[in-house]
Structure 1
Amino acid sequence: MSTPSSRPRGSRTDDLLALTEPARALVSAGALAAGLPLLRLAPRGDGHPVVVLPGWLASDASTGTLRRWLTRLGHPTAGWDLGRNQGPRPEVVDGIRALVQRLADEHGTAVSIVGQSLGGIYARRLAERSPHLVRQVISLGSPLAAVAPRRRGAAGDGMYREYRRLRAVRQVRPARALPMPSTSVYSRWDGVVDWRTCLQEEGPRSENVAVHASHLGMGVDPAVLWIVADRLAQPPGAWRPFQRPARFGLRALFPAG
């Protein structure tokens, strides 16, 4: 488990992070190719079903690498199959719940949900409303805690304008912990959302885990894939906070916080 500390974020830093997002995402993709042999050592769980939700304006194509990885780990894995993510419309909210309900019925067990960016917010909303369907939530770069609008917004604020109108607050406050295990993966080098908005209250079954990834690169970053595998491998009723792996130099992939 990591305890984040503050890092100053001025407009120049925000702009630089935003401008370098695509390039840094490519770096993560390259690191994934180089790190595949080590990723084969990642933990494996009981093969329960997993749903993966894409970020804002993205589709299932953006989560292809992550879903293939989870399938390789033995998890029946489904994308959301709702086209491009254009916001929390009623058909989207209902469609996600129907998908999770179907998988839970087919496999006779609750479903874990991995949500990238805005997809993580959808995952948490469903977990709050239908906790019996959700085993665990893992959010990747998801702005769980809204920030009050500023004169000069952080890069990417417009992408979350609709959500922030609903839950804008004056200060950044960690999101409330969920009733089931939840992990929020965040990066201080996120060029789309302020990393502080990705934090949740930490507790016996909730945590924040830091990575070096860009926002766009989280779905292909080897550290993120390891975290997802490790979290999904936690036995029901015996969840433990994430511990940075020490073998084979893997610890270097995970900042302290």
Structure 2
Amino acid sequence: MRTPLLALTGLRSRARAADDVDALAAPAGPPPTWATLGELASPLAAARLVGALPRLAAAPRGDGHLVVDIPGWRAPELSGAPLRRYLRLLGYDASGWGFGTNTGDPRRDVERLSARLLDLVDEAGRPASLVGWSLGGVIAREVARRHPEAVRRVVTYGTPVAGGAAYTSIGRAYGRSGGVDAASETVARRLDARSPISVPLTVMFSRRDGIVAWQACIDHRTSGAEHVEVSSTHIGMGVDPDVWSVVADRLARPGT
């Protein structure tokens, strides 16, 4: 009983490596209703930060390289401020993506973030890491696919890599039929086959995710993609200490 209690308070991490993702079920639709309702408990994730302070403080120090944080759909840039502050305390040059609220136009955002990133990397003289939440992770993946020379590492959490809106609660709410999503999935498969993501990639997912079906977050096509399971609601991931710990640990590892 002691270990679950310590994990509940944040003293211990609930994150665990998911090595055999091929054995995990394929997505079948949006997350279940119970999970979506569970998003109401998202503010409780911040309470675990207090208990997690000792282990967060013991995370490896950063080397000063640039880390660009990309918000999720309809999320303001401010949503990533707590994580960015933590990463700065560790010694990283953590920055927002620079475009305010993510309004949900990934094609445009991949183009403009690519241009901004290339300028920032040219100024810094070394590659940057990308951290993306939900749709922000989709953007991070595509920027890294296009410009692997400018990206040291990608870390995503709650990011769908299959099926688009068909596997989200948003799709359910708006009655998405899945036709457009099937087409986008075909495009994604073609991209993964022709131009796979070649930088180190860490994928975090949660079975408690009530916005994105966790199965849709599993990357079956990127060779070497690392998967880590956390126990957080989708909205709570931004202040979940286990997510922060994984981000800090992976950023401290060597890049490409």
Tell me, yes or no, whether TM beats 0.5.
Answer: yes
In the alignment, which of 99, 102, 113 is matched to residue 130 of structure 2? 113
Map 1:158-237 onto structure 2 (within 5 A). Answer: 164=181, 166-168=183-185, 178-201=197-220, 205-237=224-256
- SS in structure 2 at match of 1:210: strand
Which residue type is aligned with residue 46 of structure 1? D
**Which structure carries more helix by proportion?**
2
Distance 1:85 1:12, change over 3 A: closer
How much has 1:119 moved relative to structure 2? 0.3
CA displacement 1:1-42 (0-9 Å, x = unmatched): 41345479999971111112031x212100012211221011
Conserved 8 A contact 1:201-1:207: no
Conserved 8 A contact 2:31-2:212: no
Percent identity over the alignment is: 38
The 2-side partners of 1:201 and 1:11 are apart by 17
CA displacement 1:178-229 (0-9 Å, x = unmatched): 2010001000110001111111137774211100011001111011000000
The 1-side partners of 2:137 and 2:241 are apart by 19
Give unmatched runs, 5+ long, in structure 1: 238-257
How much has 1:89 moved relative to structure 2? 5.6
Partner of 2:78: 61
The total of aligned residue pairs comes to: 229
Which residue type is aligned with residue 55 of structure 1? G
The 1-side partners of 2:165 and 2:119 are apart by 37
Distance 1:165 1:6, change over 3 A: closer
CA displacement 1:142-198 (0-9 Å, x = unmatched): 00111694xxx65232589698365146xx9xx776201000100011000111111
In the alignment, which of 121, 140, 156 is matched to residue 170 of structure 2? 156
Conserved 8 A contact 1:155-1:192: yes
Partner of 2:39: 21
Distance 1:159 1:83, change over 3 A: farther
Give unmatched runs, 5+ long, in structure 2: 1-16
The 1-side partners of 2:230 and 2:171 are apart by 21
Q: Which moved more, 1:140-149 or 1:198-207?
A: 198-207
Conserved 8 A contact 2:30-2:212: no
The 1-side partners of 2:169 and 2:36 are apart by 6
- SS in structure 2 at match of 1:42: coil
Q: Which moved more, 1:4-13 or 1:42-51?
A: 4-13
Give the TM-score, by structure 1 length: 0.78
Partner of 1:242: none
Partner of 2:14: none
CA displacement 1:229-255 (0-9 Å, x = unmatched): 000000235xxxxxxxxxxxxxxxxxx
Distance 1:219 1:89, change over 3 A: closer
